[in-house]
Amino acid sequence: MAATSATTLSICPTTSAGCKPSRQKAFGLKFNSRSCPRSYGLKAAESVRCDLETSFLGKESSAALRQSFVLKAQKENKRSWNYVQPQASYKVSILGAAGGIGQPLALLAKMSPLVSALNLYDIANVKGVAADLSHCNTPSQVFDFTGASELANSLKDVNVVVIPAGVPRKPGMTRDDLFNINASIVRTLVEAVADNCPDAFIHIISNPVNSTVPIAAEVLKKKGVYDPKKLFGITTLDVVRANTFVAQKKNLRLIDVDVPVIGGHSGITILPLLSKAKPSTIFTDEEVQELTARIQNGGTEVVEAKAGAGSATLSMAYAAARFIESSLRALDGDSDVYECAYVQSDLTDLPFFASRVKLGRNGVEAFISSDLQGLTEYEQKALEALKPDLKASIEKGISFVQKEAATA
């Protein structure tokens, strides 16, 4: 992107109908100034414009980020400075950055105005990814780390660790089919996180999330550094799909739609609460069943469409980038950050459960228990039906770590 008097970073939201720039505004940070802080590779700003209506940040997040830049701009003007620098001050590490999710996720993270350093780790092929991304004229610096010998360095002083590492789903595979391979990968990576950045937010993407998050928790416990408020299973893709499919079905503006999704992150454990959708919408019984099934099987829909060539990598990267941005905003002091995530929870009789949570500087600040109140009969039955599957997945993850410890 060539540097001109106005530089804009854009994320154009994608739906199955495609992107329509004429009707939607992209995520943008626009900088206009006579002076240029060369260290950023961006033109500096006397004013900052954030067009965020349809970014992965969401409406509330967009407004908060926009206001934060306005306040910073006003503060800097009082000091008679003629530019505003984005407050890029957080380090993010992506473990599995050369993979199908890791590469597009790294690109989206590189575009965040809050990221100062982006550490990319993988067992191979990550140097080229880092070199490619480093040419993008956005504030964050990119560093590459290859192989087990460099894993520790990739985690030093990191604020957020994202783990998409592992093998992807293939046609006919369930998330549980991935367990034996990905369980070991997650265990090894989380051990390194515990040793090198125990206070970081940990985002688990590697499937099966219903089991890999309990694995991560057990590893952190054994290391004596477990903080349940900072360990997240990323179920944001279920919310992204729910919002998209509902907006399409009911002909709503996507920016207005918000559907909480609870439970887990696989098959029937994914439960969209359509009765809690915003704006309030009336669904027929047939629509509820159809939408619920499609949201639950969204991953399979993509796997089959790619016919063996991959899984839901791009939409997962988009959803993960949204959760990264929310985490960074929370770390930066934003007091109005809410996301659905699979975390240690006491909302049900299960030790881990996905629900809407409020995020703060120390991680999960509150559970939005009202989402589970006043459910429809269909939702209540679906909630009870998912519990045995989710419980079994949780116990499988815990058992994996305990067996490994017993044989060590």
Query: 184: part of which helix (H) or strand (E)?
Result: helix 179-196
Catalytic residue (one of 169, 187, 265, 391): 265
Query: 317: part of which helix (H) or strand (E)?
Result: helix 314-331
Query: 15: part of which helix (H) or strand (E)?
Result: none
Which neighbouring-strand residues pair with 367?
357
Contacts of 180 (CB under 8 A, 6+ apart): none
Gap between the terminal Cα atoms of the chain: 52
Which neighbouring-strand residues pair with 263?
270, 354
How far, in Å, CA of 192 to CA of 185, rounded?
Answer: 11
Contacts of 371 (CB under 8 A, 6+ apart): 260, 262, 273, 276, 355, 356
Task: List the one residue out of 138, 98, 101, 136 whose CA is nearest residue 120.
Answer: 98
Contacts of 385 (CB under 8 A, 6+ apart): 268
Q: Is 265 part of the annotated catalytic residue set?
A: yes
Compute CA distances 222 → 213, 277, 306, 393, whole Å. 14, 40, 40, 20
Are 275 and 260 within 8 A, CB to CB?
no
* Amino acid at residue number 152: A
| Residues that are catalytic | 265
